[in-house]
Amino acid sequence: MIGINAGHTKSGAGFGAVGIIKESEHTRKVADALKRYLEASGVQVKECTVDAAESQNAYLSKVVSMANSQELEWFVSIHFNAGGGRGVEVYTYQGRQYEDAVMVCRNIAALGFENRGVKAGTGLYVIRKTKARSMLIEVCFVDTQDANEYLALGEDKIGQAIAAALVPYAAPADPVVPVQPPGQPEKQKFVRVIVPELNVHNAPSWAAKTICGTVRIREVFTVKETLTVGSTPMHRLESGLYITAHPKYVETYEK
């Protein structure tokens, strides 16, 4: 089951950004399109949208309460960005690169938006407080050319792009209606972590001094090239970091 939150209230406390388009209006349009595609594929959806609240804190509390009232596979909050930038980005707890979240960015970017990637959203209340794995999607910017491009595409294609990223991981084994992304993403090489935790390095070396962090099972990263370090293959990631390419620890694939 996936909880869907159309970000912000319709008016008053908690109202969203305003630019060429109004965020609160279009979060609901995208959320409705997303729900249609998910339900057509056999995915159960729980409504987590709040239209009115006494304060911003009350709004956030209501959203989280709705999300936590049932056992969800994902909590997905739809938003639009503001501040003069361009592109799509997704926030997860500690910036975890869950494949579903990575594919949301990729699918929306394939419609013509810049891919700003999956980022750390630990400071965001709905990410931090929901029990389920959570992603907050910033579809694009309301106050730049992004908004005009979004209007030309329509909310249905955005909902379809998000659903195509989620359905493979949330639908029954045989989705009632498989969802294809509306854009045509270029094929890329990815690496998926298949062990509970794995070291990443800041240089093409297995030396302990080059270890700069860890990644977790189900996280996915874009591979730029594959090297052989000693006798073991190693991937250089898009971020510039390095990770083992040994099939005992990771799965490497194209998509």
What domains sit in the chain, N to C, each tagged with a CATH number?
Answer: 2-170 (3.40.630.40), 189-254 (2.30.30)
Q: What is the pLDDT of residue 170?
A: 78
pLDDT at position 138 over 90: yes
Mean pLDDT of 224-237: 96
Mean pLDDT of 18-45: 96
Q: Which residues contact 141 (CB under 8 A, 6 or more apart)?
A: 19, 80, 81, 82, 83, 84, 85, 86, 87, 147
User: What tokens appear for 155 in the block?
Assistant: 């909310």
Three-state secondary structure call for residue 129: helix
pLDDT at position 150 over 70: yes
**Alpha-carbon radius of gyration of the chain:** 19
Yes or no: say if 153 and 108 are a contact pair by the CB < 8 Å rule.
no
User: What tokens appear for 121 in the block?
Assistant: 């959203």
Q: What is the pLDDT of residue 92?
A: 98
Mean pLDDT of 1-29: 96
pLDDT at position 204 over 70: yes
Residue 46 pairs with which residues in a beta bridge?
3
Closest CA to 24 of 43, 63, 54, 51: 51
Yes or no: say if 89 and 117 are a contact pair by the CB < 8 Å rule.
yes
